[in-house]
Amino acid sequence: MANFMQSVDERTRLAGANRLEVLLFSLGKDSISGREEKFGINVFKVREVMRSPDIVRAPDMPPGVEGMVSLRGTMIPVVDLAHFCDMQVDETEKPESLIVTEYNRTMQGFLVHKVDQILRMEWNQIKVPPSMMSHRHGGLINAVAELDDGSVVMMMDVEKVLEETSKQGSDPLLFDGIVSMETDATVFFADDSSVARKQIESTLAKMELKHIGAINGKDAWQKLGDIADRAQTLGQSVQNLIQVILTDIEMPEMDGYVLTRMIKQDKRFAGIPVIMHSSLSAEANVNLGKSVGADGYVAKFNPTDLAAALAPYIRGKTVADLVGKLA
Residues 217-236: tens digit of each pLDDT = 999 999 999 999 999 999 99
In this structure, the number of other CB atoms found within 10 A of the CB of residue 261 comes to 17
Residues 260 and 193 in one domain: yes
Per the structure, the count of domains in the chain is: 2
Strand stretches in 141-195, DSSP E? 141-146, 152-156, 186-190
Residues 22 and 43 in one domain: yes
Query: What are the backbone angles phi and psi of residue 160, rounded to the nearest 5°?
Result: -70, -35
Give the bridge partners for 247, in sequence order.
Answer: 190, 276
| Domain-located, residue 1 | no
Please compute the mean of the pLDDT values over residues 259-283 and round it to a whole number.
Answer: 89
Q: What is the largest CA-CA distance in the chain?
A: 67
Q: Examine the fold and report which residue of 117, 138, 166 is the final residue of a domain before the chain moves on.
A: 166
What is the arrangement of strands in the sheet containing 296-299, beginning at the earlier edge strand? 210-214, 186-190, 244-247, 274-278, 296-299
Helix (H, G, I), strand (E, B) or coil at 262: helix
Please tell me the number of Cα atoms within 13 Å of 206 on its side-chain side.
24
Predicted local confidence at residue 268, as pLDDT: 96
| Domain-located, residue 96 | yes
Q: How much of the chain is in helix, strand and coil states, percent to nearest 5?
A: 35, 30, 35
Q: Examine the fold and report which residue of 133, 166, 199 is the final residue of a domain before the chain moves on.
A: 166
Q: What's the residue count for the chain?
A: 327
Q: Quote the CA–CA distance of 279 and 263 in Å, as a whole number.
A: 21
Q: Quote the CA–CA distance of 174 and 4 in Å, as a whole number.
A: 35
Predicted local confidence at residue 319, as pLDDT: 39
Residue 12 pLDDT class (50, 70, 90 cuts):
low
Q: pTM value?
A: 0.79
For the domain that residue 256 is a member of, what is the CATH number?
A: 3.40.50.2300
Residues 177 and 158 in one domain: no
Residues 31 and 102 in one domain: yes
Q: Is the pLDDT of residue 33 over 90?
A: no
Give per-residue pLDDT as tens, 189-223: 999 888 889 999 999 999 999 999 999 999 999 99
Q: Is the pLDDT of residue 324 over 60?
A: no
Among 18-22, 169-173, 265-269, the minimum mean pLDDT is found in 169-173
Domain that holds residue 85: 8-166
pLDDT top residue among 321 and 316: 316
In this structure, the number of other CB atoms found within 10 A of the CB of residue 203 comes to 25
Look up residue 300 and give its amino acid: K
| Stretch (H or E) spanning 213 | strand 210-214
Residues 120 and 249 in one domain: no
